[in-house]
Amino acid sequence: MIGTLLNIATVLVGGTLGLFFGSRLPDQLRKTVIAGLGLFTLAYGFYNFLKTQNPLIVLGSLLIGAMLGELWKIEDGLASMGKWLELKLARPTIGGKREVTNSRFIRAFLTASLVFCIGPMSILGSIQDGLKGDYSLLAIKSVLDGFAALAFASTLGVGVLFSVLVILFYQGGITLLAAQLNSVITPAMMSELTAVGGVLLLGIAVSSLLEIKPIRVGNFLPSLAVAPLLVALLTFLKIKD
C-alpha cells in the first residue's frame, strides 16, 4: 500500500498547490498546460494500444465493457458521488439548505479520477507493490500525477483533490488482491489489458482534456476486466491470435 499512499500524497500536494497558485497563472497558460496533458495522454494511450497482440480482443472488450458500463451506469455513479461530495462542501443557504451550483466540481472529480486510475501503470504498479513491496513504478506514476493534479486543480478546482478516494479504493484494492491476480494473469492477458487501457486514455484525452467530443469513458471501465477474460477464453478454446 506504500505506493498508493505515496500517490495520494502527491495528488494532494500537487492539487493544493494548484488551488493556491492557480489563480495567479494566466488563463491562456493554464489552458495550454491542460492541452499539453491532453496531447501527452493521447500519445501515451496510442502507445499502449500498440502493445496489443490481437486488436479484435481489444474491440470485443470495449464493446462488452461498454454494454456492462451502461447497464451498471458507472459514469452516472461517479457523477452522483461527485454531486454528493460537492453538496457536502457547499455553503448553507438561507434556510439551512445546501445547493449544488454547477458541474465544475463533478467534471474535476471525474476527469482526475479517470486519468489517475485508468492507466496501466496503476494496475501494474499496484500488483508489483502488493507482490514484492516494490513501489518504484507507482512512485514514477505519483510524480506524473502530482504535476497533473497541479494543472487540473488550477483549472478545474477542488474536485481534483477528492479523486484520492478513487485512487485509494482502486489501487489499494488491486494491491491487496495482487497475490491472487498474479497466479491468474498471464503476459498475454496483461498485454490486452494494457491495450484496452490505452484506448480509454485516448477517450479521456479526446473528451475531458482536449474537449473534442463528449465520451462517457467511465462506462468503458469494465473493459479492463473483460480483456483478460477474453484472452483466457480463447486460450481455453485453443484459438490462437
Q: Which of 59-63, 105-109, 183-187, 194-198 has the highest mean pLDDT?
A: 59-63
**Residue 97 — very low, low, confident or very high, per pLDDT cuts 50/70/90?**
low
- Inter-residue contact 28 to 155 (CB < 8 Å): no
pTM higher than 0.85? no
DSSP string, 56-73: HHHHHHHHHHHHHHHHHT
- Inter-residue contact 139 to 5 (CB < 8 Å): no
- Inter-residue contact 204 to 114 (CB < 8 Å): yes
Q: Quick check: 94 pLDDT over 80?
A: no
What pLDDT shows up at residue 202? 92
| Rounded CA separation 164/9 (Å) | 9
Q: Which amino acid is at 180?
A: Q
What pLDDT shows up at residue 111? 81
Question: For the chain, give me the number of helices (H) and strands (E)?
Answer: 11, 0
Beta bridge partners of residue 98, listed in sequence order: 92
Domain boundaries, given as residue ranges, for the chain = 2-236
Q: What is the mean pLDDT of residues 10-39?
A: 84
- Inter-residue contact 153 to 160 (CB < 8 Å): yes
Q: Which residue has the higher pLDDT, 131 or 232?
A: 232
**Residue 15 — very low, low, confident or very high, per pLDDT cuts 50/70/90?**
very high
Q: What is the mean pLDDT of residues 158-185?
A: 86
Q: What integer best gives the mean pLDDT of the chain? A: 84
**Residue 186 — very low, low, confident or very high, per pLDDT cuts 50/70/90?**
confident
| Rounded CA separation 221/59 (Å) | 14
For the chain, give percent helix, strand, coil, nearest 5.
80, 0, 20
Percent of the chain with pLDDT over 70: 89
Q: What is the mean pLDDT of residues 189-200?
A: 89
| Rounded CA separation 77/81 (Å) | 6
Q: Quick check: 99 pLDDT over 60?
A: no
What pLDDT shows up at residue 84? 77
| Rounded CA separation 218/200 (Å) | 9
What pLDDT shows up at residue 27? 76
| Rounded CA separation 6/98 (Å) | 34
Q: Quick check: 147 pLDDT over 90?
A: no
Core vs surface per residue 179-212: b (16+ CB within 10 A) or e: eebeeebeebbbbbbbbbbbbbbbbbbbbbbbee
What pLDDT shows up at residue 152? 86
Beta bridge partners of residue 92, listed in sequence order: 98
Q: Quick check: 48 pLDDT over 80?
A: yes
CB-neighbour burial class of residue 111 (10 A; exposed 0-12, middle 13-18, buried 19+): buried
The contacts of residue 56 (CB under 8 Å, 6+ apart) are none
Q: What is the pLDDT of residues 56-92, one digit of tens each?
A: 999 999 999 999 999 998 888 877 876 776 676 655 5
